[in-house]
Amino acid sequence: MATAPIFTPRDPNFAARVRASFDAQPLMGFIGAVLVSVEPGRCVIELPYRPELAQQNGFFHGGIVGTLADNAGGFAGYSLMAPEAGVLTVEYKLNLMAPAKGERLVAEGAVLRSGRNLVVSRAEVYVLGEAGKIHCATMQQTLMTMHGKGVA
């Protein structure tokens, strides 16, 4: 496995900027997601279980797993960007590896490569429950830096 590189953030206020962006997403509050931590090129998001977030077996719905992974990877990338830049998810690919059965989801995003315009990141999603901590999903993602008012 590749070790995630060490990054130096362009913006010393990266953590506050990421938190503000997270808080500005109504969906995060609607589902009850919590931004646990932000470091340069890394971001952890958690989500306590609620029955409304389930699929037909009572497990976290795959769409919710994907939402958390997308955001963890996206904010990991956003943490490395300049203060005036925006971030855009170009695409992501998610493998659902085990049922997301448990009381809490934890998505850990990490940047793999930070280019001038494009960022490649990953997220690992774990579910915590009676069976312990299960690695239930893995994601590979491409992000785009929106310099100033640029449009992809």
Residues lying near its own copies in the complex (CB under 8 A) are found at 1-4, 21, 24-27, 29-30, 51-56, 61-64, 66-68, 70-71, 88-98, 110, 112-113, 115-118, 120, 122, 124, 135, 138, 140, 142, 144, 151-152
Would you say 14 or 92 has its CB closer to its own copies? 92
Partner residues linked to 145 by β-bridges? 87
- The CB-of-12 to its own copies minimum distance in angstroms stands at 22
- The CB-of-110 to its own copies minimum distance in angstroms stands at 6
CA angle 109, 120, 77 (to 5 degrees): 50
- The CB-of-117 to its own copies minimum distance in angstroms stands at 5
